[in-house]
A and B are shown apart, each in its own frame.
Chain A
Amino acid sequence: MAKTKKQNIRNFCIIAHIDHGKSTLADRLLEMTGQVSARDMEEQLLDSMDLERERGITIKLTPARMYYTAKNGEEYVFNLIDTPGHVDFSYEVSRSLAACEGAILVVDATQGVQAQTLANVYLALDNDLEILPVINKIDLASADIEGTKAEIEDTIGLDCSSAPLISAKNGINIEKVLEKIITDLPAPVGDDDAPLKALIFDSYYDNFKGVICFVRIKDGSVKVGNKIKTFLSDKIFEVTEVGTFSPNLTPRASLSAGEVGYIAASIKSVQDTRVGDTFTDADNPAKEPLPGYKEALPVVFSGVYPLDGSKFNDLKEAISKLKLNDASLTFEAENSMALGFGFRCGFLGLLHMEIIQQRIEREFDLEIITTAPSVSYKVYKTDGEMVMVENPSKLPDIDKIDYMEEPIISANIYTPPDYVGPIMDLCQEKRGVFEDMTYVDAKRVRLKYKLPLNEIIFDFFDGLKSRTRGYASFDYELSGYEKSDLVKLDMYLNGDICDALAIIVHREKAYARGRAIAERLKEVIPRQMFEIPIQAAIGGKIIARETVKALRKDVLAKCYGGDITRKKKLLEKQKEGKKKMRRLGTVEIPSEAFMSILKIDSD
């Protein structure tokens, strides 16, 4: 295949709010450029993970290469790099942005610009990307095309006079988008003859080929047999395969400046080729790496334990494998009195956490117990030492603590003015401090609040959704640490302390939360052969008590016609249910109990 001239390459991503049609537009572009025939096409091809398709969200980046013969008669290569839409994954967004020169902004003409879209647009602008606005869903009765254009012009300052008006779903005006990509988005620049500089923007582990690195070649070129290295590791790899995405891996002879593709080089561990690092020639290295992007730090931590204690190594393997594809996931082994050996994992946010849990269960067929998430506290001890505490049960003794600091976020909440009151109430309850309130446009205001992150992980999203009937949206960034009067809330089951249920909470909230958690546990812990007291305590002082009554009825009824088999199956089912429980001392606890203590503020 002839090498494509750089001016005939376009590397771009699509930015859109959830449900605004990003995946559908991507599908149409692939279809129009003949990468996938409409008939064979599985809906929403780029969202290949089951979870993504189920939830209608994009998590992993899946690039695709397309060939398009433009009206000017020239053939172009498009590299579409998908981006996730959720706030938890803004790190992944920045990774894909770094591989692009342009971005298509898809806005739903029936809904207008959403908060999350704005956040990603600003990220793209920060990365010097050219932005092509596209108005989608124009064929719906409720579409407000002019209003949407005006909103984009007002809020982002993009000229929308020639923005393609499309329906991705029904294939209207897709060709206009293809032409605009050529005229409005810049071609890549770069020096083919300079030493190789290839930005690694994603990677995954393949059982046969080793780590597959997704790269954007900025300078130079790479082909099979080249010896390459990265800047962060001394290891030298021999390239075994290079290629492009169509969207399946398609081997090619070489990749050169401006192109997006993949490199396989028998790389054993993703740790050797970190996302954000730069590949260069081993023999003729570039002087300095490409600017990596800001590494996203995990902000939410939770313990992940195998339900079956003997599966620790399987869990380790599963998390390690997920880590290969997910640089933002962190983990280290920990030991809980209650749960045995497991891992303290760090996540970008609650959605990220939930997705990792589900992937462990589905892709590795492992049943796990996840403890309620915590944030990372700075604990200043009386001896002058400062320790970071991510696991409440690891909090030093109270008499050894001088003071503690908790992470604070600065939150932007976008809402129609009608809901300002309920949102302010919610933020108040969550110990928030008002910062600012301004109009975004005629219909929406932006509230800025400083909030403790540990309040956000306790049901903030659900509270926001229910109080604004889903109209408000929300993004945040970590703004720092602040001193706070925090205490550890311990839970006792049948008289035994259960470390996996401990949380760190603000003193003012401790009593209410202790009571609520005890009540919640009473609901989720099934009755057993004996009575189980549940107690909440601060520093050994009991502040709340509930009781799970002893089981009183658990017997199979009559066996009509002697159907013993059916009875046995019922017992087997009961036994299976029991196996899903975790035994703490004498008490059996369903695995969801550990997370359920999060859901207490919603009532």
Chain B
Amino acid sequence: MAGIYIHVPFCKQKCTYCDFASYPREIGKAELYFGCLYKEMKSRSMALKNKTFDTVYFGGGTPSIVDPKLILGCMRLIKQCFNLSEDAEVTLEINPGTMDRNKLRVYKEAGINRFSVGLQVADDGILRSLNRIHNTEDFVNTAKILQGYNFSADVMIGLIGETEEILQKTLDLAVDNGAKHLSVYALKAEEGTPMYSKYLNGDLPDEDAVRDLYDFTVSYLAQKGFNRYEVSNFALSGYHSRHNLNYWKRGEYIGFGVAASSFIDGRRFTNTESIDEYVHCLLSDRYAEIFSEDIVGEEAKFEYLMLRLRTALGVNFSEYKSTFGSDFYTDFKQKLPSVIKYMDVDDNRIKIKDEYLYVQNNIIIQFMD
């Protein structure tokens, strides 16, 4: 089980909270960039020939903003260079307003079978203030185009002006229009973004307000049949994101493109965030890695916990033992007493109690040295 991530660092305009590697003014370099992506995939493929991949994920940026033929080219190459399983989950992130039926035909040909749609909030005023390119109607139209396809919707909580009514409207809009999966993330004001100055001014909703919205989301979506399988991810039965779940299970994945991260054979590495540097490296027959570390011993165990405890599954003791060859209780004997009251434990597994899932950092760091 392994995943492939492809980063598409282009978008029409930056959202006010965005600090990801996405460059609206560089869209002219898309062909050159994809050429380098292809080259990176080919170059890496030999070393990965023994792995089987079951998920592909095109993230961004806005992958739906580039010519869909470039996505098709990626998928052809992936199928040629890697062992991609028959029933692989292939997800493309799209932005409402950048989608049409012609594009969908190409995506279908490429083998995309899941879409992740950036809805964020069903309030046009708030969408404008976030500098999003779409409005509520665009989402509805996109959802119509996607009828019959498996798609997820991204929703944000903790936005300025976002009331419980607006949130309910957002969740309804997604569910009623056919989303089988929802990712609900709280806004985080990252340094260097326009949103950060709002944060510094104290304009953002506080911790309690965000938690109230989160609690509302959990209970409201439960009524709609959505299961919280990870702290911020909700799905109807059978519709969880296999690609993301692989991250949380500490599975392997290879990332291509700028700012993409990989985890292969115990090594984590990350590419440069700069398109120019990335292109320059690939054209000079070099990889564009700017960071690499081998994760061994205690750190690997900690990662395993940190990731798995995000999920509703928690840590399974026998899986733990088969992964590390050691006993969970023995490994964390010293750490457990301070956190055990926040955990659910049975014979097979340990997980964070539902009511503490949203304050999990405070629990997880107790497992650190």
Contacts and interface: CB of A to CB of B under 8 A. Distances in A.
A384 interface: no
Of A549, A551, A578, most buried by chain B (CB within 10 Å of CB) is A551
B120 to A, nearest CB: 13
A565 B364 contact: no
Interface in B247-272: 247, 253, 255, 259-263, 268, 270
A555 B231 contact: yes
Contact of A564 (B208, B307, B361, B364): B307
A488 B292 CA distance: 57
Contacts of B255: 561-562
B361 A552 contact: no
A407 B207 CA distance: 46
Given A561-B59, A562-B5, A565-B270, A551 B359 contact: yes
B211 A557 contact: no
Nearest to B260: A561
Contact of B268 (A556, A558, A565, A572): A565
Nearest to B158: A553
Contacts of A562: 3, 5, 247, 253, 255, 260-263
A50 B306 CA distance: 42
Given A553-B359, A557-B186, A564-B247, A574 B232 contact: no
Interface in B304-360: 306-307, 342, 356-360
A572 B183 CA distance: 25
Contact of B306 (A529, A549, A561, A571): A571
B20 interface: yes
Of A527, A560, A562, A572, most buried by chain B (CB within 10 Å of CB) is A562
A558 B253 contact: no
Contacts of B214: 553
Contacts of B3: 562
28 contacts: A527-B207, A549-B208, A551-B207, A551-B359, A553-B186, A553-B211, A553-B214, A553-B358, A554-B361, A555-B186, A555-B358, A555-B360, A555-B361, A556-B361, A557-B186, A558-B185, A558-B232, A559-B247, A562-B247, A562-B260, A562-B261, A563-B261, A565-B268, A565-B293, A567-B306, A568-B306, A571-B364, A574-B365
Contacts of A556: 361
B54 to A, nearest CB: 15
A541 interface: no
A443 interface: no
A571 B207 contact: no
A568 B188 CA distance: 17
Given A560-B59, A572-B368, A554 B291 contact: no
B282 interface: no
Nearest to A573: B365
Given A555-B186, A555-B231, A565-B261, 8 more contacts: A529-B363, A554-B362, A555-B358, A557-B188, A560-B259, A562-B5, A565-B293, A571-B364
B306 A555 contact: no
A563 B211 CA distance: 25
A467 B306 CA distance: 52
A549 B268 CA distance: 38
Contact of A571 (B342, B357, B365): B365
Q: Which 6 pairs from chain A and chain B are nearest by CB?
A: A552-B211, A554-B359, A554-B361, A575-B365, A563-B261, A553-B207
B138 interface: no
Contacts of B259: 560-561, 563
Contacts of B210: 552-553
Contact of A552 (B231, B263, B270, B359): B359
Contacts of A527: 207
Interface in A531-565: 549, 551-565
A568 B268 CA distance: 12
Of B5, B188, B247, B356, most buried by chain A (CB within 10 Å of CB) is B247
Nearest to A551: B359
A239 to B, nearest CB: 52
B164 interface: no
Contact of B358 (A549, A552, A563): A552
Nearest to B271: A561
A427 to B, nearest CB: 36
B122 to A, nearest CB: 20
A98 to B, nearest CB: 53
A517 B126 CA distance: 40
Contacts of A572: 368
B7 interface: yes
A564 B5 contact: no
Interface in B173-198: 183, 185-186, 188
A565 to B, nearest CB: 5
B104 to A, nearest CB: 24
Nearest to A552: B211
A403 to B, nearest CB: 47
B185 A554 contact: no
Contacts of B365: 571, 574-575, 578
Contacts of B253: 562
B303 interface: yes
Interface in B80-108: none
A568 B303 contact: yes
Contact of B360 (A549, A554, A568): A554
A571 B368 contact: yes
B127 to A, nearest CB: 19
Contact of A554 (B59, B232, B358): B358
Interface in A461-488: none
A556 B188 CA distance: 9
B232 A557 contact: yes
B195 to A, nearest CB: 13
Contacts of B291: 565
Nearest to A578: B365
A528 B291 CA distance: 34
Nearest to B307: A564
B270 A529 contact: no
A295 B227 CA distance: 74
A527 B210 CA distance: 15
Contacts of B306: 567-568, 571
B141 to A, nearest CB: 25
B208 A552 contact: yes
A563 B357 CA distance: 21
B359 A529 contact: yes
A556 B208 CA distance: 16
Contacts of B358: 552-555
A571 B363 CA distance: 11
A556 B365 CA distance: 12
Contacts of A557: 185-186, 188, 232
Given A561-B259, A562-B261, A575 B368 contact: yes
Contacts of A563: 259, 261, 270
B361 A574 contact: yes
Nearest to A567: B306
B155 to A, nearest CB: 12
A261 to B, nearest CB: 52
Contacts of A561: 5, 7, 59, 255, 259-261
A568 B304 CA distance: 11
A564 B211 contact: no
Contacts of A552: 207-208, 210-211, 358-359
A568 B7 CA distance: 21
A381 B187 CA distance: 60
B342 A529 contact: yes
A559 B262 CA distance: 12
Interface string A61-77: 00000000000000000
Of A529, A557, A561, most buried by chain B (CB within 10 Å of CB) is A561
Interface string A565-602: 10110011011001000000000000000000000000
Interface string A256-268: 0000000000000
A564 B359 contact: no
A572 B368 CA distance: 8
A549 B209 CA distance: 13
Nearest to A572: B368
